[in-house]
Amino acid sequence: MALTGTDRGTASVDDTAVGGEWPFSPASNFTSGSLAVLCLVYDNNGTGGTDSFSSISDTNANTWTLRQNALQDPGSQDAGTVLRVYTSNQNSGTLTTGDTITVFLDLSGIGDRIQFVYTLMEVDSNTASVPTYVTGASSNGSGTSASITSTSITNTNMIIGVTGIENDGAVTPDSDATNGSWSTHQTSTNTTAGTGNLAQRISSQRKIVTASATQTYNTSFTSSDYCIAWIELTDITTDSLFDPFGTLGIFGI
C-alpha cells in the first residue's frame, strides 16, 4: 500500500466576483479514484471580522467535506485571515481542467475587497480504495512564524500542512526530513487590494511518513496574522486491518 501526492494548481481568484462567487479550475486533470484536497485562505470579511463562508460546489456535483477551519480575527472586519481545508473523493465525477470549483461567500455587510487564494492537490493510492481522512487540527495567531504538532502519524500515511497569512511576503516552507521529507510547497498570493497586510498568501505541503510518530509542521514569514493546520490521510481501510482467517486459521483457531 502506498500513497502519492500530485499538485493540481494554486492561484489567487479575482475579488470582483459577482454575487459572492469565487470560481476556479484545476491546473491539470485529476485521476479517477483519487482524493481531492482543497486548501483555502481569504480575508475575515464577515461582519465584525467573522468568516464569510457560505458554501462550496463543483460542476460535477461532488461532495466536499470540511476537515479543518481556522480564523485569526483581531476583532474587526478584514483585519485577519481565514483558513479552510476540504476533501472530496470525487464521488460524482473526476475533476478536470474543464471543470469549475466555486466557493460562495456571504457578501452581506461586506464593504471591502476580498483577497482569496487556494491550493489543490490530488492524493492517490496503489490500492483499490480512495484515500481517506483520519484526523487533523488547526491553530492561529500573529507573529513571524507558525508551528503545529500532529498526533502520531501512522507509518506510510500522509500528512498535509497548510499555512495562511495576511501578507504578501514570502513563506519559508518546512524543510525537515524527520521520518520523511516535505514536498515543495504550493504557494500563491493575492494583492488586488494592496500589498503588506492588505494581501493574503497560502502555502501547503505534504509528507509520506516513514515511521509512526508525531510530525511538527512549521513555517516562517513576514510578521502577520496567520492560520495553520494539518490533516492525516490513509489508504488503509478498517476492513483491511481485520483478517478473519488470521495466521492460525479462522478467527485464530
- Report the b/e string of 109-123 with b at 16+ CB within 10 A: ebeebbbbbbbbbbb
Which has the minimum average pLDDT: 22-36, 69-83, 138-152, 175-189? 69-83
pLDDT of residue 246: 45
- pLDDT grade for 129, boundaries at 50, 70 and 90: confident
CA distance 172 to 230: 17
pTM of the entire structure?
Answer: 0.92
pLDDT at 187 over 70: yes
pLDDT of residue 237: 72
Higher pLDDT, residue 251 or 2:
2
Report angle CA 203, 104, 12 to the nearest 5 degrees: 35
Q: Which triple of cell numbers denotes residue 40?
A: 483555502
pLDDT at 104 over 60: yes
R_g over Cα of the chain: 19
Report angle CA 114, 57, 69 to the nearest 5 degrees: 60
Q: Distance from CA of residue 41 to its chain's centroid? A: 9
Of 216, 205, 166, the closest CA to residue 189 belongs to: 166
